[in-house]
Structures are given as structure tokens and as C-alpha cells.
Amino acid sequence: MIAYLTRRILFAGVLLLAVSLFTFLIFTVLPTDPAALTCGKACTPDRIEANRTRLGYDQPVTTQYVRFLKGIVGGRTYGEGQGEFTCGAPSLGYSFSQKDCVTSLIARTLPVTASIAFGGFALWIIFGIGLGMVSALKRGRWPDRLISVVSVVGLSFPTFFLALLLLFIFVIWTQILPFPSYVSPTEDFFGWCQALILPWLTITIISAPYYIRLTRFGMLETMNEDYVRLGIAKGLKRWTVLRKYVLRSALIPIVTVAGLDFGVTLGGAVFTESVFSLPGMGRLSIKAVSDSDLPVLVGTTLVAGTFIVVFNLLTDIFYGFVDPRVRIHK
Amino acid sequence: MTDVLPIDGIDGDSVVVASIESKSPKRLSWDRFKRDRFAIAGLGVVAFFLIIAIFAPLITKILGISPNALDRNSLNDYGLPNGRFGGISGKHWLGVEPGTGRDILARLIYGARLSLFVGLVATLITTSVGMMLGLVAGYLRGRVDTFLSRLSDLVMTFPSLILTIALVRPGTQRLEAMGVPEGNPARLTYLMLVTLFFGWVGFFRIVRGQTLALREREFVEAARSSGAGPGHIIFRQIAPNLWGPIIALASMSLPGYVAYEAALSFLGVGIISPTASWGIMLQDSVHYYRADPTYFFIPGATLFVLVMAFYLLSEGLRDALDPKNDRQQVA
């Protein structure tokens, strides 16, 4: 087990480094002139040159990357003299258009995204697995059919359209809910729920159908296994067989998908955040695109990538615990 | 009397039994597909949209509408459509756009053209590249396989949506500097390239896995022992076995790409106005949510219906192409 863990953690580390290198490279090599993007259309050649040296775009790419990595580990100072800014570790860069360190921008927006992701995730897992179980147990009868119709409808909604629809219905036309504005859950728990209920609902309606299908399929497959028949033949209670024999093995593949999905959502719920005007990481990215704010974009991409790597690692570790075969094979 | 066998019945009458008809796997799949009413409905809707998209210029000409003609007469002094429900009239069947008076039906028709074009091209390129690399990796194994598999791990690690959005500006700039015409051609090329970068992985994984299993089968061995080269084995022996899962997966990803185009255009990082796109229409309609809700519902519902039709179709295809479903048809 320890060997397996070490291997997985090392691999995750390599993956993270590769992601950082690739992200950095693509944002440095792809723009025709990164410095010209720092001040938009109001740029004078002087300012472009000043920003070029300030941000280090005049250095070779390798030097820039090494500086970037050093910044993550030990903080970094941008520019010199009057226009000097220092960002503490882990520094992901400095945003000219927002006049702030990228790390603090992300730190400010992350709680919003995390709130959306956690609540949405909890709801879609509960509904996805719950309804999937009902579907499998009532296979072919009306609850199963109803659930499958509802899931096709949910699956067919593009996220942004569903979010808009919910916003119009609940906030603008019927005015059941106020317009979402984020407050910290520690300050005002009820206000927090009220602001996030629609984003949660959006994410749940869109994501739960996949989990309904996975659960239904997995349960129907395992219910045909001989060991399940044995359990029933032994005279175990129906619920015990279901819980210990069927669910336990049917849910394992779902964990993989769930881990990855959660990692992705945590990197920025772009559509829900922009429709409901919630100041999360996804919206930070969108704003950075319209400002051509490359340092912020590098930062959000990297953080989002890190979440994916970390949650993949966690799923791998989980697998190692529940399924001994994984530890030997890979 | 060639295909009917006379059999003596119990009381001497002859009972006629039809001979057993042999059916090809394709025929069996088609029979299964035909029984699925939802899938047939999906197919009908998709075909309808395809025809509209292909004949867009002809249809708009016959109806006497244009996606870009401004019709100020259909708007009132506030720039809102005259009449109820977003200005629906005999001339403008689905109303007009507030502010400009452009015909919504015409813009929807041209938007369908764009959506389906993006969906089809994206699916085609991701499928073919993923399949090609999967076949090669699965067949050759060894270093090629390790390299491609690690690469797919790496690609999976990137937050695709965030990165797509983040690279729009530098990406299109770079393409324009390389000679791609400015504006939508550069945007579309960019979107296709990014889609390819992220999209091949799913197909690659499935094809690779299947190829690894198939290459050990006897028919492959038979081909090899009669002197077939790797090209023949990969494309003539192994590839034909993969069409089922590939078609199923491709038809699942197509509606995703259709919705993706609309979503990116909605965020302002996809297609640029004045080209008609459902995403742009929805983005624009948000400003008129109170005064003209029809303008929001029409493109939204159209997008929803098309995506749903694709899903129903793809589900029908998946069930029909899976030989395991032969025994029973679960409703």
C-alpha cells in the first residue's frame, strides 16, 4: 500500500509540474506580444516597453519559468523603485489591470466557487445516486420511466440556458428569491444559502442525470452477480444485500467520475457564476479575458489544473483502499 | 415452395412454417433502432434541422426574410418590437430582434447552420484523431503507447473550459498573424483546434482499450500468419469492429459541441456578431428579459430541442448498436 501511495503521489507531482510548465509555455509563446496585452488599446510604445521589463517578458522563456516557480515557492517582487510590488508566497503573478497580486485575487474568489461546488456536489450526488437506486429497483415500471424522462430533460439543458431560465423564473418574474449576492456562510448562513440555491439547483439538474444512469447501470449489473444471488439464498435481509453486496460494488466506479467532476467544478463554475453574477474564479477568468490579463489567466488555469490533479490523486488513493487489485496492477 | 416447408400437422393438415431468415448485424441493429420511438423522433428532428441548415439561403429567400436586413418599421419608438410576443406577425413568424428589427426566424435558421457545422466538424476531427491514435497505440503498444497514454493523462489534467476561454485572445491573434482571415474564421479555427486538443482523449482511451483486446483475438492472428502487414491488420481487421462504440460515443459528443458553441458565444468568447449564433441571440436577449421575453425563449427552446433530439438519437443508437441488447428490449 505504501509503495502504491508513493507512486501515485510522485506521479501527481510530475503531472503538476508538467501542467505548470505547459500552462506557462502556452501563455508565453502563443501571444504575439504579451507585453502589448498589458495595457489594452491605450498602450503607448513606452508603456509597453516598461511593462515588458517589469513583468520580465524581455527575458528568455526558461528564465521566466524559473522565476515563476521561484515566485510560487518564495514570493516575488515585480518592477523596481516607485512602481514596486511584492507578492508573498505562493505568488502566481501580478495583475496590472486589477493592480493586485494574482494569488490574493484567487484567494478572494475561491470561497465563492468552493461554496457553489460543495453545495452543488452534495445535491447532485444525493439526487443522482438516490434516483438511480430507485430507477434500478423499479426497473421498467413507472418510477423508472419518469426518472429517465426527467434525466433526458436535465441532460439536454445547456448550463447557461438553464441558469438564465431559473434566474428569470425565480428572481425576476415571480420574485420568490432576491437577486443572488454572495455573503460568507459564517456571517449569514441563511443569506449564503439563499444566494446559492439557484446555482446549486442548476448544477444539480445538469449533473445528476449522469449519476442516475451510472448508478442504475451499475446496480443492474451487480444485481445479476452470483454472490448477490448467494446473499439472497442465504436468507439475508433485502436491505442488507442491497447495502453490502450491491451498492458497495456498484458505487465504486461512480467515485472516479465524482472525483474528477468535483475537481473540475472547483476550478470555476464559469456559466453559473457569470449568469448569477457571483464573484468566483470562473468569473475572474472571464473578466481577465476581456481585460487581456494574462497573469490572472495563468493563475486561474494553474489553480484549476491543480484541483483536478489533487482530486484525481484522492480518487486513486480511495481506490487503493477499497480495491486491492489496483495496488498490484499499476 | 423454396422457402416454405410443408410439415404434417397432427390431424393431417399441413402447417406452413416460414424458413429462418438470416439477418446481418447491421440489419439487427436497424430493427432494434426502429422499435425505439424516442430515437426515431430524435432522428426526425435532427434531420429537420439539418435540412434547414443546408438550405438556409433558399428557405429564407422563399420566406422573403433575411438574417441581416434591418426592419425599423417593425419596432416602436423605444426600439421594441411592435405587437405582442416579440412582434410575431405574418411577415416575421417568430418576431423581430429588439433594437435592430432583424428577423428572428432567419437568424435562427442561419444559427442552426453554424451550430451544426461546428458540432459536425468538431465531432469528426476529434473522432478521427482519437481513433487513429488509439488504434496505433493499442496495436503497437510499447513506447508509442506509453507516450500517448501519458499525454492523454496530461491533457485530462487541464481545465478545458477555463483554458479555452483564457486562450481565446492570444490564440486568435496568433492565428491571424499566421494568415487566417481576421474575425470569425480565426475564431472558428481556434475553437476547432482547442476542441481537437481536448476532445481526442475520450475516443483515444476507448479505442486503445478495445484494440488491446482485439489484437489478441484469433482472426487477427490468422491475418498475421497469412502475411498481412500492420496497416492491413489495423484498418481492415481491427477497425471495423470498433464502429459500434465509436458511433455511439460520437453521437453522444455531438450535442455537447452544439451546446458548447452556443455557450462560448454567449460568454462572448465564441462567434462574433453580426454572424447569427444562438448563443449571441441569448446573450442579447438578456437585456430585454422584461420587455421582450419571447426573444429569450425562442432561441433557448430551439437549442434545447436540438440538443435533446441528439441525445434521444444517440441513446437509441447506443442501444441498437450493442449486440447484448438482442435478447430483450427494455423500454
Chain A residue numbers with beta carbons less than 8 Å from the beta carbon of B289 are 168, 172
> Residue B80: which H helix or E strand, with range?
none
Does the pLDDT value for residue A291 go beyond 50? yes
Q: Are residues A69 and A182 in the same domain?
A: no
What is the pLDDT at residue B270?
85
Greater confidence (A37 vs B38) lies with B38
Residues in chain A with CB shorter than 8 Å from the CB of B268 are 290
pLDDT in tens, A56-113: 777 777 888 888 888 887 777 776 666 677 777 788 888 877 888 889 999 999 999 9
Cβ pair A30:B266 closer than 8 A? no
Give the domain-ending residue among A91, A122, A139: A91
State whether A82 and A119 are in the same domain: no
Q: Is residue A137 part of a domain?
A: yes
Architecture of domain B38-328: Orthogonal Bundle (1.10)
DSSP B22: P
Domain co-membership, A187 together with A320 = yes
Tell me how close the Cα of B330 comes to any Cα of chain A, in angstroms. Answer: 7
Residue A135 CB burial class (10 angstroms; 0-12, 13-18, ≥19): buried
Tell me whether strands A85-87 and A76-78 are parallel, antiparallel or unpaired: antiparallel
pLDDT at A110: 92
Window B:276-295, CB contacts with A under 8 Å = 282, 286, 289-290, 293
Residue A83 belongs to what domain range?
Answer: 32-91
Report the relative pairing of strands B4-8 and A100-101 from DSSP bridges. Answer: unpaired
Question: Mean pLDDT score of chain A, rounded to an integer?
Answer: 85
CATH classification of the domain holding A208: 1.10.3720.10
Residue found under cell 503498444: B141
Note the pLDDT of residue B272: 84
Position B10 scores a pLDDT of: 53
Instruction: Give residue B44's pLDDT.
Output: 93
**Chain A residues whose beta carbon lies within 8 Å of the beta carbon of residue B264:** none
| pLDDT the model gives residue A266 | 87
Predicted TM-score of the model (pTM):
0.85
Type of residue found at A154 = G
Q: Are residues A62 and A205 in the same domain?
A: no
Q: What ipTM did this prediction achieve? A: 0.84
Chain-chain contact of A286 with B312 (C-beta, under 8 angstroms): no
| Identity of the residue in B173, B262, B267 whose CB atom sits nearest the CB atom of A32 | B173
Model pLDDT, residue A330: 46
Give the model's pLDDT for residue B327: 46
Supply the pLDDT for residue B328: 44
Q: Is residue A150 part of a domain?
A: yes
The CA distance from B266 to B258, in Å, is 13
**Beta strand A94-95 pairing with A100-101:** antiparallel
Residue A9 lies in a domain: no
> What is the DSSP code string of A146-188?
HHHHHHHHHHHS-HHHHHHHHIIIIIIIS--SPPP----TTT-
pLDDT digits (tens, 9 = 90+) for A42-56: 677 777 777 777 777
Question: Residue B305: what pLDDT?
Answer: 94
For residues A185-194, average pLDDT: 85
Residues A134 and A233 in one domain: yes
**Percentage of residues in chain A with pLDDT exceeding 70?**
95
Domain assignment present for residue A196? The answer is yes
Beta bridge partners of B15: B7
Q: Which residues in chain B are classed under CATH 1.10.3720.10?
A: 38-328
Dihedral sign for Cα atoms in the order B134, B135, B139, B144: negative
- Chain B neighbours among A 103-142 (CB < 8 Å)? 139-140
Q: What is the pLDDT of residue B331?
A: 35
Number of A to B CB contacts under 8 A, please give it. 126
Low-confidence spans in chain B with pLDDT less than 70: 1-21, 71, 74-75, 79, 82-94, 101, 323-331
- Written as one letter, the residue type at A18 is A
Q: Could you read off the pLDDT of B31-74 as tens digits, one per residue?
A: 888 888 888 999 999 999 999 999 888 888 887 777 777 767 76
Q: How many domains does chain A have?
A: 2
A213 and A313 together in one domain:
yes
| A202 inside 8 A of chain B by CB | no
The helix (H) or strand (E) run that includes residue B131 is helix B104-140
Cβ–Cβ gap A161/B293 under 8 Å: no
The residue assigned the cell 444512469 is A213
Among A43, A66, A91, the domain boundary falls at A91
Please state the rounded mean pLDDT for residues A127-137.
93
pLDDT at position A25, please?
A: 85
